[in-house]
Amino acid sequence: MSIQQENRFQAIIAHAKEYGFVFPSSEIYDGLSAVYDYGPYGSELKKNIRDHWWKSMTQLNDNIVGIDAAIFMHPTTWKASGHVDNFSDPMIDNRDSKKRYRVDHLLEAHADKLAHEGRKEEEFALLKSMDDLLAKDDFTGLKQLIEDNKITCAISGTSNWTDIRQFNLMFKTEFGAIASDNPNDNVVYLRPETAQGIFVNFLNVQKTARMKVPFGIAQTGKAFRNEIVARQFIFRMREFEQMEMQFFVRPGTEREWYKHWKQQRLNWHLDLGTPTEKYRFHDHVKLAHYAKEACDIEYEFPIGFKEVEGIHSRSDFDLSQHQLYSKKKQQYFDNDIDEKTGKPYGNYIPYVIETSIGLDRMFLLVLSQAYDEETITKDDGATDTRVVMRIPVKLAPNKLAILPLVKKDGLPELARKLMDECKPHFRCFYEEKDAIGKRYRRQDAIGTPFCVTVDHQTKEDGTVTLRERDSMTQKRVPLSEIKNQILNLL
RNA sequence: GCGGAAAUAGCUCAUCUGGUAGAGCGACAGCUUCCCAAGCUGUAGGUGGCGGGUUCGAGUCCCGUUUUCCGCUCCA
């Protein structure tokens, strides 16, 4: 990463805070690591991104419907999905090599070694002790076990171990107001992904909305993960928001749908005006256990190319797992005629293509793409810098600023009238303080695409100046046409 | 997690070798102003990250701690 890019990232973070887009969480208490709050303009921008995604998914595709599942889900959900097993392992670090190990892996490796040396009884004893201690979450005992067996790090060769720590990637909380003797009785997790809320509702949605495969279910919502490293601003947060769509298809057609959605999703990004060269696909070579094909859409952030969205061909893994754990059939009966057999396709568990985009990452993408420090030369030859957020019109927090040139001679009254006319239709901002140039710059800094200035000529011929953010050009437009002109651009 | 650096007003910074904190910008109020910020006047805002120590006296020296940034590490 170059110094210039580094500075640019810092500048964007500072700008986001100073202009009410993103604040560190609980800042007056020194903040909460990897948690952020969205301010007045940030919350508008975020909402606009979410709405834009939602509309493009559900309104523009008649075979996609939305849901809003709860963050709390039955704990078995996460056993079925594999999260319980994969997201909470006791770990230990070797202080010399800085290498981190899963405790069970470390002990099992040692047990293997014992087995190879023909010390079967010791092997079994070790594994049994390990299982007992793991079941009790006895980390002190486990560390003692590692030390007693003189297990060393394969890299440093030393046994200079840290204490054992549990890495809970999922947040746990207690369900029910009454405490139980066994705390495990009441455990629920804050969902680490929104997808499972879609999968467990697959049949509810299919039946009630009378959907036929292929169809999709879209959802936006918060998800929670304990990230090990908390850095990189809102790119990596413990509480974040996903926008996911699971598309259910007939087995055997997943390939073409995967390709379809891969292209569709890239088009969605490009449609916002971002140059193609800022995007690239990253096809996964190593696939997760459930995946048949997977890729990321990466955007060139100031910190390099990073994943914004993932498109995964998940096979029937999720629905099959839920069928297995819930003992409820997750099948769909397909009445369409299979040309090969002349009969309906019949019952099957659909395959799934997932598109999953991080709303907060998309937000950061928009900020990164929009932020610009521009040097402009004035009429007298002097130079000046302008910080402008070139946010796409449809995403901008404010669409229009309405500014009387001076706050007298009846100009504020005319401006207020326009404000009243426009504000039911799109978000407007009114200001009569300070010099007009200063007000323009303030709007540039928060990405308002248009400013209308009411001046004395308005009183004579009913026209105002409409000033465009990116080019700073202005033209005279009849006051009566402003509302419709802006509406046409949204 | 390890190593390094930093922390003074909303922002950028100053306060020489310890003597009880200041500027510019910004914000707010008013004046002025007929189209691209930095005209005028006024106002607000700091227990100098937090805790402890040395000292007659600490923003300044020492220790601890927290947070942030950088590098490495880790990452479903």
Task: Determine which of A12-26, A88-102, A217-231 has the lowest per-residue pLDDT on average.
Answer: A88-102
A114 within domain boundaries: yes
pLDDT at A291: 73
pLDDT, tens only, A77-103: 998 998 887 666 677 776 666 566 777
Among A326, A342, A366, the domain boundary falls at A366
Q: Confidence band (pLDDT; 50, 70, 90) for A134?
A: confident
Nucleotide nearest to A442 (CA to C1'): B37
Is strand B within 7 Å of residue A242 (CB)?
no
Do A35 and A92 belong together in one domain? no
Calculate ∠ Cα A98-A101-A104, nearest 5°.
Answer: 160
Do A271 and A226 belong together in one domain? yes
Chain A 180..219 CB hits on strand B (< 7 A): none
A343 within 8 A of A369, measured Cβ to Cβ: no
pLDDT, tens only, A324-342: 999 999 999 999 999 889 9
Is strand B within 7 Å of residue A435 (CB)?
yes
- Distance CA A31 to C1' B49 in A: 12
Is strand B within 7 Å of residue A154 (CB)?
no
Identity of the highest mean pLDDT range in A28-37, A156-165, A277-286, A312-321? A312-321
* Cβ neighbours around A22 below 10 Å, total: 26
Count of residues for chain A? 490
Residue A383 pLDDT > 80: no
Among A343, A366, A389, the domain boundary falls at A366
| Total domain count, chain A | 3
Residues A52-76 as b/e (b if ≥16 CB within 10 A, e otherwise) read bbbebbbeeeeebbbeebeeebeee
Alpha carbon distance A394, A427 (integer Å): 11
Cis amide leading into A214 (omega within 30): yes
Nucleotide nearest to A296 (CA to C1'): B76
CATH code of the domain containing A116: 3.30.40.230
Do A96 and A68 belong together in one domain? no
Alpha carbon distance A271, A189 (integer Å): 37
Do A247 and A353 belong together in one domain? yes
Do A198 and A155 belong together in one domain? no
A191 within domain boundaries: yes
Residue A307 pLDDT > 60: yes
Among A109, A133, A165, the domain boundary falls at A165
Burial class (CB in 10 A: 0-12, 13-18, 19+), A285: exposed
A387 within domain boundaries: no
Do A258 and A362 belong together in one domain? yes
Residue A487 pLDDT > 60: yes
Is strand B within 7 Å of residue A464 (CB)?
yes
A382 within domain boundaries: no
A393 within domain boundaries: no
Is strand B within 7 Å of residue A78 (CB)?
no
CATH code of the domain containing A461: 3.40.50.800
Nucleotide nearest to A225 (CA to C1'): B76
Give strand B nucleotides closer than 7 A to any protein Cβ: 1-2, 10-12, 26-29, 32-39, 66-76
Segment A422-442 shows an average pLDDT of 93
**A165-168/A88-93 β-pairing:** antiparallel
Alpha carbon distance A299, A465 (integer Å): 37
Nucleotide nearest to A385 (CA to C1'): B37
Could you tell me the pTM of the whole model? 0.87
Phi first, then psi, for residue A101 (nearest 5°) are -125, 150
Do A272 and A357 belong together in one domain? yes
A445 within domain boundaries: yes
Do A246 and A357 belong together in one domain? yes
ipTM: 0.85
Alpha carbon distance A130, A103 (integer Å): 9
pLDDT, tens only, A246-273: 999 999 999 999 999 999 999 999 999 9
pLDDT at A455: 92
A373 within domain boundaries: no
Do A193 and A64 belong together in one domain? yes
A449 within 8 A of A467, measured Cβ to Cβ: no
A376 within domain boundaries: no
pLDDT at A162: 72
* Cβ neighbours around A83 below 10 Å, total: 19
Q: Would you tell me the crossing angle of helices A139-148 and A120-135 to the nearest 10 degrees?
A: 160
Burial class (CB in 10 A: 0-12, 13-18, 19+), A121: exposed
What share of chain A has pLDDT > 70, as a percent? 90
CATH code of the domain containing A200: 3.30.930.10
Identity of the highest mean pLDDT range in A101-115, A295-309, A373-387? A295-309
Residue A349 pLDDT > 50: yes
Give the range of the structural domain holding residue A126, as residue numbers without chain letter. Answer: 88-165
Task: Determine which of A55-64, A83-92, A236-245 has the lowest per-residue pLDDT on average.
Answer: A83-92
Segment A179-191 shows an average pLDDT of 75
Do A54 and A146 belong together in one domain? no
Segment A385-413 shows an average pLDDT of 92
Residue A343 pLDDT > 80: yes
- The closest alpha carbon to A367, from A317, A419, A308, belongs to A308
Residue A1 pLDDT > 50: no
Do A62 and A135 belong together in one domain? no
Do A310 and A246 belong together in one domain? yes
Q: Confidence band (pLDDT; 50, 70, 90) for A393?
A: very high
Q: Confidence band (pLDDT; 50, 70, 90) for A105?
A: confident
